[in-house]
Structure 1
Amino acid sequence: MLLAARLASSFALIFTLSLIASGAPANSRTVVHESRNHVPRGWNAIRRADPGLILPFRIGLAQPNIENIEAYLLDVSHPSSPNYGKHWAPGRIAETFRPSRESIDTVRAWLAEAGGLDAARVNLSAGGGWLQADLTVEEAERLLETEYHVYQFEGDEERTHVACHEKYHLPEDVAKHVEIVTPTLHFDVKPKSKPVQLEKRDAPSSGSAAAHAVGQPGFGASFPKTSGTIQPVVDPALAYCDEQIVPDCLRVLYSFDYTPVAPERNSIAIVEYTPEAYVATDLDMFFANYSPAQIGERPVLNSIDGGFVQTNQTGFDYNGESNLDLQYAMTLVGRTQPVQLYQAGDDVEGASFNNLLDALDGSYCYFEGGDNPEYDSIYPDPYGGYEGPESCGTVTPAYVMSTSYSYNEADLTPAYEERQCAEYAKLGLMGVTVLYSSGDYGVAGNDGVCLYPNGTQADGAPDFNPSFPGTCPYITSVGATQVNPNSTVYEPESACEQVIYSGGGFSNVFPMPSYQKTAVEYYLTNYPPPYAPTLYNSSGTSRGFPDIAANGANYVVAIDGEFWLVYGTSCSSPVSAAIFSGINDARLAVGKGPIGFINPTIYTPAFMAAFNDITTGSNQGCDTEGFYAQPGWDPVTGVGTPNFSKLVELWLDLP
């Protein structure tokens, strides 16, 4: 036993020395790797972190070929490409972007030399993308030339988080091998010291703040809004679509009269985050009015990290989003097409977008990487919730996925957002259409907050505050329209200006993707926004959003035994998902593949002409009128609302 221990110790020493010999020099110049000049709204530093506190230290290694990911995606997604529709297998994606041995060895050598970590303390993740080690705050501060502080959310003693102060450094020779280090500047991990006690709440008033407990950090995900309960008009429903939107209104608006013919080959998923949950009796209440043949039908549950359809908390805040998404998605695709429900997170820790991505792509599983309950939402849940293993590559991605939640871009750091955005590109390479709602506060962020020039978010700040992932160039961002008062479904819609305003604008993080360059430049040249260039990213080279739009006002939704009028891009995204799912069905029925990442296609002239162009309305916010809907693409309604009958013909003509 003693001999074995000595041999192991000698091997570790030899391995460490060899890494030092091949790695970064001890005196390599350090550079700032990430920085910020503000923390997310609601968080405040209260003290230095205890030097002996253990951190779940994770280093995201640079992914080779990541600089080519847009080119790879365009190759399989642009209609003029000879490889259109030839989507990649997951194995090819993992191999293409797996970090190199040089990156692994260089970072290991730095940890050994500068941090004194022997080889046994540092582990490589299963996917090869992350190096992991539990470090004390003192060790992490020495490695990164930074300070760690304890942050508290709005004076709540139970909601604390440990993060770096302002910036962290890496040796110059190491930095090129590293994309991101956590925990450092990032607040996407839900802070915990004990389980959050959720309280039962009644319906919010119109425009009120959303529930905090959605498996996200303390700053917020967007939620639908309501103007209260109503008595629905069942017949003739089409005569009242300016006051009450029901499935038949949408079928006429978007020429969506389609019965699936290949449902067994097709797939569509709605993403929800516990504690948001649908109510089965509400589904049947809705179906009874608008699709009687579907009474008793339920979505196919895919549980992610203990996600379940909870019944402990009820009310608009807890059931509004999921009921809305599923009632409309299920009704529009019809009873023969199963709808998958990706329910993420238990009701103690919840989940984040990264938890979802972990389940969809096993190689992504160590993005959060943490197993320390003081900082990470981890599984098995140490607080008595889900006791199973972390969901890692457990869900086969559906061909179309809709998510009606979003952050503000300013909530997270650019490096964090860029790495997550690359994962959406990988889903696109696999043939998945990823839809996200664009937000409900116009050019402002969630809850109507805007930006100061230094990036701080606050009520009354002047600068526009774009959303994320809506600004990621590898998802399709969906804005909102409305049937104008006293108008019919046979007349043009406008940008939504009832209760909510369609989120839209220009990213402060992501450059303009090539597929939208012509359309966005046309807008900026012919309809220049009438604002000082300091109010928004007016460079003319940044990602514009949304990409498309669909109705987002006056939806009739059954919630806890009553019908409510609901508003939001939360409505627009699942409706769009149902329409694109129908296009997939038509292609699959004739032996073709799914449409996958649609943005390069929808920005071509032929496809833009197949959308209903929205030319009236604006998306006010930040004490301005926001941007204005104009002919062609605009940062309010994108290229317009879908016309299924035109789009399906165009997509059927593609390989």
Structure 2
Amino acid sequence: MMVLSSRLVALALVLYVTAVPAPTGHIVHEVRDIIPRGWTAVRRAEPDMVLPFRVGLVQPNLENIEEYIMDVSHPESPNYGKHWTPAKVASTFRPTKESVDTVRTWLVESGVASERVKLGTGGSWIKVNVTIEEAERLLGTEYYVYQFGEDESHTHVACHEKYHLPEHVSKHVEIVSPTLHFDTKPRGPAGQWQKLGSRDDASASSNSSAHAIGQPGFGTSFPKTTGTVQGIIDQLENCDEQIVPNCLRALYDFDYYPLVPEKNSLAIVEYTPQAYNASDLDIFFGNFSPSQVGQRPILYSIDGGYLETEDGGGFYYNGESNLDLQYSMTLVGPRQPVQLYQAGDFYEGASFGNLLDALDASYCTFEGGDDPEFDATYPDPHGGGYEGPENCGTVSPAYIMSTSYGYTEADLTPAYEQRQCAEYAKLGLMGITVLYSSGDYGVAGIGEACLDADGQVDWFGHTFAPAFPVDCPYVTAVGATRVNPNSTIFEPESACEQIIQSGGGFSNVFPVPSYQAAAVEHYLANYPPGYPDGTYNTSGSRAYPDISANGANYVVAVQGEYYLVYGTSCSSPVSAAIFSAINDARLAIGKSPIGFINPAIYTPEFMAAFNDITTGSNPGCGTEGFYAQPGWDPVTGVGTPNFVKLLALWLALP
């Protein structure tokens, strides 16, 4: 637990009682109940400091987005598989002229010169640089400089507790930035961004930003290892000790020869400084898929993303990407190309927002660069990094995308998470399947931290800490299972409790989606966890994971050696390879890709096509977490895939 000096504590207490009343006619637009762990207000921000003020406009029809996506994704819908074009998505959710005019008029009538106000790319944001004094007057709030711990070089500017908007403006605004949010990376000396990926520490600190997601050891889903292993055993009877591709093929009845790989697409997402090592791919292929020696993923560089890390890498720099690519590429085989979305340079890094910018131009936040409150800014404003323009709508999304990175939900703000979650729904409308690892800390957050009674991340807390983006109802969350010790692949797996614990739980931000409501209700009614009120959200919220796959004892080549690797980082790319094969089979007979799969997999017919996991739990926060039970559970979801059964069901759909 961070201990602050008495001077900082005393100053913080003073700051918290010096609120300025909101202007007449203003209402509270957004509230922050707590400051993220480790940060303390140290002084009022200077009145003449300039802020990159951004107003995110309400996107119309978002209230209908679940209805839209169910219409094209539920097996019983007459429009199943009739996915939307990007143009239809953009036009349906583009902010209205009324919203643009209302916000612009408010700013001008408040004293901001009209020529300073600009509408951003995609029409979703209004951009204007303002001073602290102007921002405080516009929002009826006070801005402070916050410091992380006692390190005076780690500071951040944000407003205090809440901000206000005129009532007639508020209904047109989704979020204002910078305001309450701490989704930012601390600045180093002289205001420069700190270089990502310090070799001095293989575990990133909790003050990493939304665009430091690739930091070694950071996040809810960073693979763990017990070290190197000598003597690779490619025998099915040894899958309880070493998982290799043949184990997974046997576990999930997965044997497929791609028919139309030129029509199909599969992408693995990585964030710098994580990067694969080419020679390690060939070592792995040499053992498990010799015909793929020399084969590489197709690189899509996003905002300066590149392949090789500095200083030779190692497990904490190559392990994640090596794992993802070695298994996804081997399982789909040499005929099916695998794309690599490598996001961010080594200095600025990248966020999920930077990725979404590249996939959908309408998501880009404003002209000339991303929102620095949340995302890495390109061209690199501080020098030394990627100097090209930000990638905005430059990548056509693959039909299947797998990501093995995540945050503790409480580290970000609901407004930020909700806006991003809506973008995943839009991808689903276009026929894209988005998979995320569910996390490796059971019911706890990053580094096994939980929440206190106020919902703040706390190493000594006892309230479960859900993760993001896996809590978004429009992604498919993938948990982890294991072959039990001294068991075979022909016996049921259990929830992974070896080295890592399969992440799962209930969101504190997103409500339960309609496709999942019956499964969640069945679990809570028949297998109530029995924890005291307040231990987890019981108010009807999005639950995860949705599915699972093996996540223990993977053999992965890293820097010329084989490591035993554990994590939901294993589960997601393996699932992606299986679903990609189903897409190939559907595309080969002229049908659409499977798209957003959650409404299908929660139907009784599809649930029966998964291997139900009924043993194990996901401990955390001083508890045994949740228990795997018959049917869906917040440990392993609906279970692990049976490829043959799922293929038959999806081929039968329109």
Same-fold status (TM-score > 0.5): yes
**Residues 535 and 284 of structure 1, relative CA distance in 2, 3 Å threshold:** same
What pairs up with 1:289-304 in 2 under 5 angstroms?
A: 289-304=287-302
Q: Which stretch shifts more, 183-192 or 494-503?
A: 183-192
Which letter does structure 1 place at the counterpart of 2:194? V
Alignment correspondent of 2:112: 117
Give the SS at the match of 1:188: coil
Partner of 2:485: 485
Q: Match for 1:170: what amino acid?
A: L
Code of the aligned partner of 2:55: I
Shift of 1:487: 0.5
Deviation at 1:232, TM superposition (A): 3.8
Quick one: which amino acid aligns to residue 487 of structure 1? S
Measure the CA separation in 1 of the matches of 2:504 and 2:583.
27
Question: 1:200: Cα distance to partner?
Answer: 6.2
Letter in 2 for 1:263: P
Does 1:516 find its partner at 2:520? no
Q: Which piece of structure 1 moves more, 162-171 or 213-222?
A: 213-222
* DSSP-derived class of the 1:358 partner: helix
State the partner residue of 1:364.
363
Residues 210/269 of structure 1: CA separation in 2 closer, same or farther (3 Å cut): farther
Output the amino acid matched with 2:242.
Answer: Q
What does residue 19 of structure 2 align with? none
Contact kept in structure 1, 2:158 and 2:180, CA below 8 Å: yes
In 2 relative to 1, CA 215–320 (structure 1 residues): closer, same or farther, beyond 3 Å? farther
> 1:136-535, aligned counterparts within 5 Å?
136-192=131-187, 193-197=191-195, 201=199, 215-216=211-212, 220-222=218-220, 223-235=222-234, 237-313=235-311, 314-366=313-365, 377-382=376-381, 383-535=383-535
SS at match of 1:131: strand
What's the counterpart of residue 51 of structure 1?
47
Q: Secondary structure at the match of 2:425?
A: helix
Q: Could you say if the C-alpha distance between residues 121 and 98 of structure 1 is closer, same or farther in structure 2, counting changes exceeding 3 Å?
A: same
Task: Give the residue type in structure 2 aligned to 1:519.
Answer: A
Question: Helix, strand or coil for the counterpart of 1:563?
Answer: strand
Listed as ranges, the matches of 1:588-607 within 5 Å are 588-607=587-606
Deviation (angstroms), 1:62: 0.6
Q: TM-score, normalised by structure 2?
A: 0.92
User: Please, which runs of 5 or more residues in structure 2 have no aligned partner?
Assistant: 1-21
Question: In structure 2, do the counterparts of structure 1 residues 608 and 208 end up closer, same or farther at CA, with 3 Å as the change threshold?
Answer: same
CA–CA separation in structure 2 for the residues paired with 1:648 and 1:143: 56
Match of 1:78 among 74, 77, 80: 74
Q: Please tell me the residue identity of whatever aligns with 1:99.
A: P
Give, in whole Å, the separation in 2 of the partners of 1:211 and 1:113. 38
Letter in 1 for 2:399: Y
Alpha-carbon shift at residue 595 of structure 1 (Å): 0.3
Match of 2:102 among 97, 102, 106: 106
Percent identity reads: 69
Secondary structure of the 1:584 match is: helix
**Stretch deviating more after TM superposition (159-168 or 497-506):** 159-168
The CA distance in 2 between the partners of 1:102 and 1:454, in whole Å, is 38
Equivalents in 2 of 1:418, 1:375: separation in Å?
14
**In 2: Cα distance, 1:286 partner to 1:203 partner:** 28
Q: Is contact 2:121-2:367 (8 Å) kept?
A: no
- Are positions 1:95 and 2:91 aligned together? yes
Provide Cα deviations, 1:308-364, integer angstroms capped at 9, x if missing partner: 012304111111110110110100110111100000000000000000000000000
Q: 1:371 to 1:81 in 2, by over 3 A?
A: closer
Q: Distance in 1 between matches of 2:183 and 2:198?
A: 25
Match of 1:127 among 110, 122, 147: 122
CA contact (8 A) 2:140 2:164 kept: yes
Contact 1:55–1:372 (8 Å) recurs in 2: no
> Does structure 1 retain, via aligned residues, the 8 Å contact 2:364–2:370?
no
User: Which residue does 1:13 correspond to in 2?
Assistant: none
Give me the whole-angstrom Cα distance separating, in 2, the residues matched to 1:79 and 1:126. 36
AA paired with 1:623?
G
Alpha-carbon distance, 1:376 to partner: 5.9
CA contact (8 A) 1:481 1:551 kept: yes
Residues 211 and 352, structure 2, Cα contact 8 Å, conserved in 1: no
Q: Is the 8 A contact 1:162 1:375 kept in 2?
A: no
Give CA-to-partner distance per residue, 1:393-429, whole Å, 9 cap, x none. Answer: 0000000000000011101111111110000000000
Give 1:60's aligned amino acid.
G
Q: Which residues of 2 match residues 571-610 of structure 1 at below 5 A?
A: 571-610=570-609
1:480 is matched by which residue type in structure 2?
A
- Distance change (3 Å), C-alpha of 1:548 and 1:613: same
CA shift digits 1:99-131 (9 cap, x unpaired): 1111111111111122x0121010011211111
Give the 3-state SS of the residue equivalent to 2:121 in structure 1.
Answer: coil
Residue deviations 1:6-25 (CA, integer Å, cap 9, x gap)? xxxxxxxxxxxxxxxxxxxx
The residue type paired with residue 360 of structure 2 is: D
* Alpha-carbon distance in structure 1 between the residues aligned to 2:162 and 2:368: 21
Instruction: Flag the 1:165–1:210 CA change in 2: closer, same or farther, 3 A.
Output: closer
Q: For the Cα contact (< 8 Å) 2:402–2:436, is it kept in 1? A: yes
In the alignment, structure 1 residue 560 sits paired with structure 2 residue 559: yes
2:643 maps to a residue whose letter is F
Return the alpha-carbon distance in structure 2 between the equivalents of residues 411 and 63 of structure 1.
24
Q: Contact 1:203–1:317 at 8 Å: present in 2 too?
A: no
For the pair 1:634 / 2:633, whether they are aligned, the reply is: yes
Name the Cα RMSD after superposition: 2.1
Instruction: Report the Cα offset of residue 160 of structure 1.
Output: 2.4
Query: Does 2:59 correspond to 1:60?
Result: no
Contact preservation (8 Å) 2:196, 2:349: no
Change (3 A) 1:374 1:459: closer
CA 1:162 to 1:38, structure 2 compared with 1: closer, same or farther past 3 Å?
Answer: same
